[in-house]
Structure 1
Amino acid sequence: MEQKRRTRIVDLLKTSEIGQQTNVKGWVRTKRGNKHVNFIALNDGSCIHNLQIVVDVPNFDEELLKRITTGASVSIIGEICESTGSGQKVEIQAKEIEILGDCDVDKYPLQPKKHSLEFLREIAHLRFRTNTFGAIARVRHSMIFAVHEFFTKKGFLNIHTPIITASDAEGAGEMFKVTTLDLDNTPKTEEGQIDYSKDFFGKATNLTVSGQLEGELAALAMGEIYTFGPTFRAENSNTTRHLSEFWMIEPEMAFYNLDDNMDLAEEFLKYLIKYALDNCSDDLKFLSQRLQEEEKNKKADERSMELIEKLEFVLAHDFIRLTYSEAIDILKNSKPNKKGKFKYPITGFGSDLQSEHERFLVEKHFKKPVILTDYPKDIKAFYMKLNDDGNTVRAMDVLFPQIGEIIGGSQREDSLEKLTGRMKEMDIPEEEMWWYLDTRRFGSVEHSGFGLGFERMMLFVTGMGNIRDVIPFPRAPKTAEF
């Protein structure tokens, strides 16, 4: 085959160079036709759309054409022609065809038919080749780029925080241990405990659950920073909302109070959504149609809001801001609570809000995204700034339709005395956190930050229902394939 520079399908479909010769390469989605003409639907991953290749059968070797099956990879040189079919303006009249890689079609699991998402999770090494997962991968890339663009435009520095850590930022205790000790013959102390002084780092270490604490160290010198890295939780949870390995975006800002923090979170979320609408329209249209098809047998009031309409809904509204106490009053007096419809009834101040409560506030009561503030200190982390009432902290959670909490953050406690007091209450040893406490000893300032679970954002932007479908290779209990 004559060597010619490859053109991506996404670029070809925009071209007006009718009559020009071009070279396309990709994977065959389908082949149909008769003894006179074949039509190949070719996709190279650059966009949701396939390119139609028209093959005049008499011009090609019969054995070659038999090898063009679903899943095979091919290189085609041909002429760009106006398409006579609907859907796209150009197609390729094939002049030369080369099979780059044959596909054993009898064993190929991605036949041209509808496959369940559960089945596709079992073949995650191939699911990128489907329209759904190709679209998700492209949207995910765009969202990653938009995160970095947003913070770079605002003058933030990207900081790489450690993946291996000796601290537990959330106090959750459900962490993956990192060790080089021989698990069949672990060294023990005189008390019979594992002797971590013999381990690689000389102490017990884990995979991080958050880059926040180290992020604060950087912010209290550099001003405004953000982290974007993998985080890990060893929580034995098999829900559609939990992963064992996921990505977190965590900005930390010196000289920011809670109001500044809320302003930034709202601006950030709207920036990401607008970027998706502006740059991923074809993929979002496809994902919207997929969702509507999936929910067509549901009752009208059980169906999700149309995807693009839902994204525009967030852009169109200022987020409602109210305190946890105000939210509890609304929920306590709501019809679902009074009629026993909530799985977790709201009894009053101190109730831990569940997804059903968060979604009620957003979808039924306010019909807008909501930011809740000033939670009881007993249900929040040690580092959140104590309010003057002594009972609540300067926390904030951003609540979205269909997702519930999408961002969690707070103004951080800048008083050394109050911070050490909270640590005593929660049995967090000061000697292990000496480096964190030093930032309050040496020029402490008002500062704030938040965390956005990237996969939760991806669920919202793509309309997918299971978090394992918005990360390329999900890690969850009993799931570490690929």
Structure 2
Amino acid sequence: MGPLQIKELLKASPEQQSVTVKGWVRTKRESKNAIFIALNDGSTIHNIQAVAEPGQFSAELLLTVTTGACLNITGQLVESQGSGQAVEVKIQDIHVYGAADPEVYPLQPKRHSLEFLREIAHLRPRTNTFSAILRIRHTLAFAVHKYYNDKGFFYLHTPVITASDAEGAGEMFRVTTLDLNKLPRTEEGDINFKEDFFGREANLTVSGQLEGELGAMALSKIYTFGPTFRAENSNTTRHLAEFWMIEPEMAFFELKDNMDLAEDFVKTVISYAMENCKDDLEFLQNRLAEEEKNKPQNERSQPLLEKLSFVVDNPFERLTYTEAIEILLKSKPHKEKKFQYPVGWGIDLSSEHERYLVEKHFKKPVILTNYPREIKSFYMKLDEDGKTVRAMDVLFPGIGEIIGGSQREEDYDKLLQRVHEVGIDPQNLWWYLETRKFGTAPHSGFGLGFERLVLFVTGMSNIRDVIPFPRYPKSAEF
């Protein structure tokens, strides 16, 4: 089973028992009475202190014990003589697995900018900030699977390579084995994809939703949780080219059922992280407060744990898009022309509009429903007025939309009409349309970008800092 992790050792009762601890040096300091080594193995935000006596080890060995070095320490677990932790290790032996030359090791014990750390993504998990983020990311992922398993959902693996564009928005990465220097051509001069691996154009998926619906039409309740890709040339703090999506699809769920599930889902997984990542969340909360201490009070973010409680403890306000537009038109920022983007029925709400509704007007998370058909996807069920669809977006403080979903159109003729309206060739979706011919049923679903959730829970400001190896325009280094 290997040595006990530092997380467990810090909870142990000190009885001078022999222990082995392995990890990476965070700091080493020497005084005339002792040598103190702070070791961390990634299992917790906290280090364990290992103490040696002066002269106990050769100067040559101690020169290799520097920040970043990987050690195997054996010794006795004793009561700590200092403050901050209950136990420490009285060192008997040190084995250096790998040294880290302090002249070139980039993670010295000082503050590093997030921009710099993105350049060394292979090492940034060793920092307190990123180890905390990655532990929280793991906990949230586990909570997602636990939630859906406990609710009777089946985990469906949908294709990463697809010939369909679920959103109808383009911006997809092409998958091909064709020689780009000798592309085969048709008589008309177009690329002849019949000679490609799949015999047709293929891309990396932007969503598993359409295939997820097929699963729901047999298993009733499914969810996907997998990588998705978007070739949008966007260099913002909210966009990635490769990200993970959670997409449940449920037969026999109508719009209200969909909203109930989305609210319960996000509250449950956030609560799970709050219960199981207390130390990491407190560290990130303190980090954020330190970053913002020089800002005016009214420009500082809500304390992280307070923000998470804000979501978990409040019932989500539910209203239609039309009602939201009326509120925004009557709002002070609109009347004083302080919104950057215009307000009017038919617009696609911007983040500033969404955040106003959540943070200023209702002071609680919001679910907006029944959006204009023109600004939503073809597969959403038409309302009786023919102008709106049964869409739903969940809006959070500080971030705006975090979930987008809808009741899906189950009527074959109406769906086919929408496919034609948006310019999609029905032949490309024949299999999707057929589910409306053979035993169709009301059904609903939604999508949650996992990195968006991790961004919210960790309080980070850039989505590139909540995924281990971010992919964005001109960056695929690691």
TM-score of the superposition, structure 2-length normalised? 0.99
Q: Which blocks of at least 5 consecutive residues in structure 2 are unaligned?
A: none
Asked if the contact 1:42–1:50 (Cα under 8 Å) also holds between the matched residues in 2, the reply is yes
Select the residue among 334, 359, 364 that pairs with 1:363: 359
Q: Of residues 419, 424, 427 in structure 2, which corresponds to 1:428?
A: 424
Structure 1 runs of 4+ with >3 Å offset: none
- 1:51 paired to 2:37: no
Counterpart check, 1:273 vs 2:262: no
1:479 aligns with 2:475: yes
Conservation of the 8 A alpha-carbon contact between 1:168 and 1:209:
yes
Match of 1:145 among 142, 146, 149: 142
In structure 2, the residue matched to 1:313 is 310
Mapping for residues 236-385 of structure 1, pairs under 5 Å: 236-346=233-343, 348-385=344-381
Q: Secondary structure at the match of 2:270?
A: helix
- CA deviations over 1:146-189 (Å, ceiling 9, x no partner): 00000000000000000000000001110000001111111111
* Further displaced range: 423-432 or 142-151: 423-432
Distance 1:189 1:299 in 2: 64
The farther-off stretch of 176-185 and 35-44 is: 35-44
Secondary structure of the corresponding residue to residue 145 of structure 1: helix
Please report how far the alpha carbon of residue 313 of structure 1 lies from its aligned counterpart in structure 2 after TM superposition. Answer: 1.1
Distance 1:60 1:468 in 2: 43
**1:235 matched to which residue of 2?**
232
Cα distance in 1 for partners of 2:295, 2:355 equals 19
**1:445 counterpart residue number:** 441
Identity of aligned residues (%): 66
Give the corresponding residue for 2:408.
Answer: 412
Is the Cα contact below 8 Å between 1:233 and 1:243 reproduced in 2?
yes
Rounded to whole Å, the distance in 1 between the matches of 2:310 and 2:59 is 54
| C-alpha deviation, 1:218, in angstroms | 0.5
- Quote the offset at 1:34 in angstroms: 2.3
Distance in 2, Cα, partners of 1:31 & 1:200: 56
- Is the deviation greater in 471-480 or in 11-20? 11-20
Which residue in 1 is equivalent to 2:163?
Answer: 166
Measured in 1, the distance between the counterparts of 2:271 and 2:424 equals 41
1:84 aligns with 2:65: no
- In structure 1, what is the equivalent of residue 133 of structure 2? 136
TM-score in terms of structure 1 length: 0.98
Whichever residue aligns with residue 248 of structure 1, its letter is M
- CA deviation map 1:182-232 (0-9, x unaligned): 111111111111111111000001000000000000000110000000000
After superposition, the C-alpha distances for 1:106-142 in whole angstroms (9 at most, x for unaligned) are 0000010000000000000000000000001100000
Query: Residues 55-81 of structure 1, C-alpha deviation per residue, up to 9 Å, x if partnerless?
Result: 102222221112111111111111111
Letter paired with 1:364: K
Secondary structure in 2 aligned to 1:59?
coil
Q: Paired residue for 1:105?
A: 102
Aligned 8 A contact 2:75 2:89 in 1 = yes
Residue 324 of structure 1 deviates from its aligned partner by: 0.2
Using the TM superposition, name which of 238-247 and 191-200 deviates more.
191-200
Asked if structure 1 preserves the Cα contact closer than 8 Å seen for 2:25 and 2:66, the reply is yes
Report the Cα distance in structure 1 between the residues aligned to 2:133 and 2:458, rounded to whole angstroms: 7
How far apart are 1:35 and its partner, in Å? 4.0
> Which whole-Å CA distance do the structure 1 matches of 2:125 and 2:427 have between them?
48
What SS class does the counterpart of residue 99 from structure 1 fall into?
A: strand
**Deviation digits for residues 21-70 of structure 1, max 9, x if unmatched?**
10101100110122431111110101000111111022222211121111
Q: Distance in 1 between matches of 2:112 and 2:157?
A: 39
SS at match of 2:435: helix
Distance 2:298 2:313 in 1: 22
1:18 Cα deviation from its structure 2 partner:
2.2
Counterpart in the other structure of 2:119:
122
Q: Amino acid of the residue matched to residue 144 of structure 1? A: A
Distance 1:45 1:162 in 2: 33
In the alignment, does 2:200 pair up with 1:203?
yes
Q: Does the residue aligned with 1:92 lie in a helix, a strand or coil? A: strand
* Alpha-carbon contact 2:14-2:79 (below 8 Å) kept: no
Paired residue type of 1:451? G
Whether the 8 Å CA contact 1:36–1:58 is kept in 2: the answer is no
- In structure 1, runs of 5+ residues without a counterpart are none
Higher mean alpha-carbon deviation, 178-187 vs 34-43, is at 34-43
Q: For the residues of structure 1 that align with 2:31 and 2:113, how far apart are their CA atoms?
A: 31
Q: Does 1:29 align with 2:26?
A: yes
Q: Which residue is equivalent to 1:458?
A: 454
In 2, distance between residues paired with 1:237 and 1:28? 38
8 Å CA contact 2:14, 2:87 repeated in 1 = no
Matched AA of 1:62:
A
In the comparison of the two structures, how many residue pairs are matched?
Answer: 478
**Letter paired with 1:45:** G
Give the corresponding residue for 1:176: 173
Residue aligned with 1:387, SS: coil
